[in-house]
Amino acid sequence: MASHRRPKQPSRARVTVLTTAAAAAVALSSQAANAAPNEKPSKDEVKAKVDKLYEEAEHATEKYNGAKEKQEKLQKEISTIQDNVARGQEEVNELRDGLGLMASAQYRSGGIDPSLQLFLSADPDDYLDKASTLDQLSTQQVDALKKIQEKQRELAQQRSEASEKLEDLASTRTELGKKKKEVQSKLSAAQKLLNSLTAEEKAQLAEEENRATRASERDVLSANVPAGSGRAAAAFAAAQSKIGTPYVYGATGPSSFDCSGLTQWAYAQAGVGLPRTSEAQTGAGTRIYSTSQLKVGDLVFFFNDLHHVGLYAGNGQILHAPRTGTVVRYESMNTIGGPFMFGVRV
């Protein structure tokens, strides 16, 4: 007969250990679940993320500016070509009308065989004059035909060129729309982060920026750096008159600016035409790689992709339109957020 043994019960010590471990696991799991939603980035962490987003937005802004400039250029070129085609077609129509009139005149005067016309003519001299006219009309017809052919070839080439530019324009408009969405997305993300700060934290960040700006102003006032040229001095003075003007991406003044919009506008007041984008403005003069050789009014470029530009103000300071949420102001070259690449003396 089989024996029935009672199952061995776990010891009191083992039960205690298992219970304690389970309770600890539940507690840790609960803490982890509760901690994640309540974690809030610090003010400095938010600022770092926002600065990065603004940098990316400015990079996209310069691409947007380039696409917008290309679009405007293409629109002007297409308009000019279309005007030329319209005028050319009018010329062709006039040549065809003239050819038709000549053909009608020749038919009316040359409908009878010339030898028979001469035989019937009462005045041979009169006929010879008419024959001379017929020869002249024939020459004009040949010339008119040649002109029509040349004009038609020219019009076909212009229409083809306009068609290519229209395709390029459509592509440029698509790129423009993408860059605009990219800028807006970056700015929206930055604003969302800023909204996560308390009123006190926002006030602290604003005060930090104000202190930095005041320090830069003092450094500029104490600087004794000459301007790169008379025009550079005039451009710098124009930019100074816009201190406090808000930054708006894609803006070229006079009531708002982005970085390259400010430098372009400032030099325009000095009678110098600069390209629209920061990258294009690098070719506006002589490059200067040493900060010690920079002079007031020189263009200064930052970041490896050259997406930020300002005007040198002396003592390691620049005058620029920094980013969304700021105004035209002085700032230390050390706080731009990207490396100084070189200056350009216009």
pLDDT digits (tens, 9 = 90+) for 43-66: 999 999 999 999 999 999 999 999
Average pLDDT over residues 194-222: 92
What pLDDT sits at residue 123? 56
**Whole-structure pTM value:** 0.72
Q: What token pair was written down for 127?
A: 């006929």
Total residues belonging to the chain: 346
Q: Is the pLDDT of residue 102 over 80?
A: no
Query: Running DSSP on this structure, what letter comes out for residue 335?
Result: G
228, 295 contact by CB (below 8 A): yes
- Name the active-site residue from 4, 59, 259, 307: 259
Mean pLDDT of 111-139: 51
Strands ordered across the beta sheet of 286-288: 286-288, 340-345, 299-302, 308-314, 317-320, 329-332
Active site residue 4: no
The residue with greater pLDDT, 39 or 158, is 158
Give the pLDDT confidence score for residue 138 in this predicted structure.
Answer: 59
Backbone angles phi, psi at 218, to 5 degrees: -65, -40
Q: What is the DSSP string of 256-274?
A: -B-HHHHHHHHHHHTT-PP
Print burial letters for 143-169: b (CB count within 10 Å at least 16), e (below 16).
ebeebbeebeeebeebeeebeebeeeb
Q: What is the pLDDT of residue 246?
A: 97
**pLDDT (mean) for 176-198:** 95
Report the pLDDT value the prediction gives residue 111, as an integer from 0 to 100.
Answer: 52
Q: Return the residue matching tokens 């040493």.
A: 290
Decide: residue 73, CB within 10 A, 0-12 exposed, 13-18 middle, 19+ buried.
middle
CA nearest to 326, candidates 245, 266, 262, 255? 245
Percent of the chain with pLDDT over 70: 77
pLDDT digits (tens, 9 = 90+) for 3-45: 444 445 544 444 444 444 444 444 444 444 444 455 788 999 9
Of 29-33, 127-131, 151-155, 308-312, minimum mean pLDDT range: 29-33
Asked if 281 and 299 count as a contact pair (C-beta separation under 8 A), the reply is yes
Alpha carbons 293 and 210: distance in angstroms, whole number: 28
Give the Cα separation of 268 and 238 in Å (integer).
Answer: 9
pLDDT attached to residue 296 = 97
Domains, the chain, with CATH or none: 43-194 (1.10.287), 225-345 (3.90.1720.10)
**Interior/surface letters 187-209, b for 16+ CB within 10 angstroms, e for the rest:** bebbeebbeebeeebeeebeeeb
The mean pLDDT of the chain is 83
For position 32, what pLDDT does the model report?
A: 42
Catalytic status, residue 307: no
Residue of 4, 59, 307, 308 marked catalytic: 308
